[in-house]
Chain A
Amino acid sequence: MSERPAHAYLDAGTGAMILQVLLGGIAGVTVIFKLYWRRFRTLFSTRRGEDDVLDTSKT
């Protein structure tokens, strides 16, 4: 497997990509945890961090 960014012409759909994590079974749980981890950390950080992927507030 390579580390190239995929240049697919097709729009994967944000919701669909997130759903894949939820459908991913046990392996998905780890990913969910890591996605949320940043959000958890920014709550305690004094720096203004980037908004987390699962933050739905419109910027």
Chain B
Amino acid sequence: MTEPYESGSFRDRNARVFIRDGSVFRGLNEQASAEWDALAETRFFDRFSADGRLVATEKVDPPAATNEAERWVSFLRHERVPFISYPYEWCFGMLKAAAVLQLDLLLAALDEGMILKDSSAYNVQWVGAEPVFIDIASFERLSAGSPWVGYRQFCEMFLCPLMLQAYKDVQFNAWMRGSIDGLRPSDCYRLFSMRDLLRPGVLKHVFLQAKLEARYADTKRDVRDDLRKAGFGKELILANVKGLRRLVARMNWRSRESEWSEYGDCSHYEPVDQQKKIDFVRDVVSMRSRRLVWDLGCNTGTFSRLAAEGADYVVAQDGDHLVIERFWGSLSAEGNRKILPLVNNLADPSPALAWRGRERQALEQRGNPDLVMCLALIHHMVITANVPMREFVDWLASLGGDLIIEFVTKDDPMVHTLLRNKQDNYDDYDLEFFERCLAESFEIGRREPLCEGQRIMYHAVARR
């Protein structure tokens, strides 16, 4: 029986990833094995592995009872990333940090005669707020006279999306989700104005690249061969990579505020209610071992941090990019490895994408949470996003874990605000109906009113 391969691992024919017994293996063919041997001997490999920027990797014997030994010459085993995420779920700072990691690895590799053969943003994953490069098979020995093959992809996957947000204040998420290969310099150029040509890096990496790409699109020559004969050398690659490193490090997204950036977690609670809410969450989290917690609508992350005290890993999600940007910024500053913040609109969560709709997994396919926290969120889902109450509760149930949910009644001032410009057709937004929906899929464990009954906390246990 052939090993089921990781559905996202197929573009490079020299190596394939598969999961077996909860471990991540990579089969290498002869060429990839030779590259691995060279990589394992470098100093930078040890250095980056030691501080966690390269995924922990070791060569292993063929996994038991697999016929893959016939196909692959050698095998690697990688440490598993706690939760897979994709560039279209990252905030600006995360994509920038991933780009910087890619460039730092390139510089270190070039210094020891190696290079990265591609520059896909999907080669970077996260442990909490820390980036980790996972595509070990992407390293290869540098061929004399060869240009940096991954330069164009670096622009498509990293540089242009970052520029779109830094220079035009347009968030890159929708584009990255819609275009599997990223944002091409030619499209980026069309999105920019004459004024943008003066911004750092645009003339070189966007305008010139777009023009040259168009001009040489039909050439039939083997340009790589010509460059090699003309003496193309490592110094040219180094000059370019160093320039990009300086450029990316300087790029910033200046956004002063967004719809939810000034909301905060605490603005609507009296201290005594806030404390009751904190205690409730803390008690429920610590009731049993929680391998994975999802905090939906995490905002500033107060409750994500609370959950992380008692859980192994927390995936904090919010539809507001700026909110996640700030949260990630503070997590990154402290080197947090337990909380992964993601930009995700729950009314439109990341779907399965790309080749056969399996190359990139839907959010719900990447690991079921043991506990889902849905605090001060349901009114936004039902009233603002117009998701039917029952369907939202069903979706929460489908995630398979226990639930902490805070119901915000129609007496609450926030709900009044949400309804102010709408006709109140939300018959299903009713406490009794909510409790019935909840009871259909869960056992209601504990119920505690806050704010004089305007908000009610529930602990709901999944029916097993």
Chain A contact residues, CB within 8 Å of chain B = 1-25, 27-28, 30-31, 34-35, 51, 53, 56, 58-59
Contact residues in B for A24 (Cβ distance below 8 Å): 235-237, 239-240
Segment 115-138 of B: residues with Cβ below 8 Å from A:
117-118
Q: Is the CB of A12 within 8 A of B151?
A: yes
CB-CB under 8 A for A15 and B217, given A10-B150, A25-B236: yes
**Partner of A17 from B141, B147, B220, B229 at Cβ < 8 Å:** B147
Interchain nearest-CB distance for B178 vs A (Å): 21
Q: Is the CB of A34 within 8 A of B230?
A: yes
A31 to B235, CA, bound (A): 11
Q: Is the CB of A23 within 8 A of B149?
A: no
Contact residues in B for A14 (Cβ distance below 8 Å): 212-213, 216-217, 219, 223
CB-CB under 8 A for A59 and B220, given A1-B143, A16-B151, A22-B208: yes
Q: Is the CB of A27 within 8 A of B235?
A: yes
A41 to B294, CA, bound (A): 67
A2 to B227, CA, bound (A): 16
Q: Is the CB of B12 within 8 A of A21?
A: no
Q: Per-position contact with A for B216-245: 1 when CB-CB < 8 Å, else 0?
A: 111111011011011111111101100100
Q: Is B214 among interface residues, defined by CB-CB distance under 8 A? A: yes
Q: Is the CB of B236 within 8 A of A21?
A: yes
Contact size range, B:
35 or more
Closest to B186 in A: A15
Contact residues in A for B147 (Cβ distance below 8 Å): 12, 17, 20-21
Contact residues in B for A31 (Cβ distance below 8 Å): 227, 230-233, 236
Interchain nearest-CB distance for B54 vs A (Å): 20
CB-CB under 8 A for A15 and B214, given A1-B113, A23-B243, A34-B231: yes
Contact residues in B for A5 (Cβ distance below 8 Å): 143
Contact residues in B for A18 (Cβ distance below 8 Å): 212, 216, 223
Q: Is the CB of B212 within 8 A of A15?
A: yes
Q: Is the CB of A1 within 8 A of B141?
A: yes
Q: Is the CB of A56 within 8 A of B143?
A: no
Interchain nearest-CB distance for B246 vs A (Å): 13
Q: Is B256 among interface residues, defined by CB-CB distance under 8 A? A: no
Q: Is B370 among interface residues, defined by CB-CB distance under 8 A? A: no
Q: Is the CB of A56 within 8 A of B152?
A: no
Q: Is the CB of B216 within 8 A of A7?
A: no
A6 to B13, CA, bound (A): 14
Closest to A1 in B: B144
Contact residues in B for A27 (Cβ distance below 8 Å): 233, 235-236, 239
Contact residues in A for B204 (Cβ distance below 8 Å): 19, 23
Closest to B31 in A: A7
Q: Is the CB of A3 within 8 A of B149?
A: no
User: Which residue of A3, A4, A22, A31 has the most chain B CB atoms within 10 A of its CB atom?
Assistant: A31
